[in-house]
């Protein structure tokens, strides 16, 4: 979503763009299933306690900062993730992406449970010079599920100077 926002604000600064595991539509409980829908529903209802409990199950964190090399504590990371999920509820670039003139690769995991594949196809349909890479056997974290295939495809896309 950050890359979309940057591309829309600064189209003159981009020759190529890679968008991955992203959506142009707001994350709303009615669009999603499972724990993500539950988390977004809890955030919309203002039930921070329920949202924190769901987030803890979805993204388990290390119990102490000492165990993760001194990075932020688990509660701080959970707060950051909650703010991130909350921000996705207002993000909406539908009807705006035609302004992106850069060659674009939209990467999406076929098994992504967070962002429907139709979102990736819709995004690519709005961007004039967009290609879509759908990675079989990959979910929302396609870069972890299919790292070699994703890296190879992205490198080839970026090397193409059409």
Q: Do residue 80 and residue 105 come from a single domain?
A: no
| CATH number of the CATH domain containing 109 | 3.40.50.1820
User: Mean pLDDT, to the nearest integer, of 137-156?
Assistant: 93
Q: Do residue 100 and residue 20 come from a single domain?
A: yes
Q: Is pTM beyond 0.85 here?
A: no
Q: Do residue 103 and residue 121 come from a single domain?
A: yes
Please determine, for residue 66, whether its predicted confidence score (pLDDT) is greater than 80. no
Domain that holds residue 8: 2-25+93-159
Beta-sheet pairing, 130-135 with 103-109: parallel
How many structural domains compose the chain? 2
Q: Which tens digit of pLDDT belongs to each residue from 84-141?
A: 777 777 788 999 999 999 999 999 999 887 788 999 999 999 999 999 999 999 988 8
Q: Do residue 82 and residue 133 come from a single domain?
A: no
H helices of the chain, in order, are 2-9, 34-45, 48-58, 74-88, 117-126, 142-145, 147-159
Q: Do residue 128 and residue 153 come from a single domain?
A: yes
Of 88, 108, 127, at which residue does a domain stop? 88
d(CA 156, CA 139): 22
Band of the pLDDT at 155, cuts 50, 70, 90? very high
Of 70, 88, 106, at which residue does a domain stop? 88
Q: Which tens digit of pLDDT belongs to each residue from 6-50?
A: 999 999 999 999 999 898 876 665 666 677 778 777 877 888 888
């Amino acid at each position: 979503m950050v890359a979309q926002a940057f591309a829309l604000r600064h189209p003159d600064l981009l020759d190529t763009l890679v968008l991955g595991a992203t959506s142009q539509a707001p994350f709303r409980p009615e669009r999603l299933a499972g724990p993500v829908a539950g988390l977004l529903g809890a955030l919309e209802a203002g039930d921070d306690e329920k949202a924190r409990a769901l987030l803890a199950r979805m993204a388990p964190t290390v119990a102490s900062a000492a165990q993760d090399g001194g990075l932020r504590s688990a509660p701080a990371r959970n707060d950051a993730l909650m703010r991130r999920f909350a921000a996705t509820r207002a993000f909406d670039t539908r009807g705006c992406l035609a302004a992106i003139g850069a060659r674009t690769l939209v990467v999406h995991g076929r098994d992504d449970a967070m962002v429907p594949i139709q979102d990736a196809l819709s995004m690519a349909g709005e961007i004039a010079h967009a290609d879509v890479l759908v990675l079989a056997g990959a979910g929302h974290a396609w870069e972890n599920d299919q790292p070699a295939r994703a890296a190879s495809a992205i490198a080839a896309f970026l090397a193409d100077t059409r």
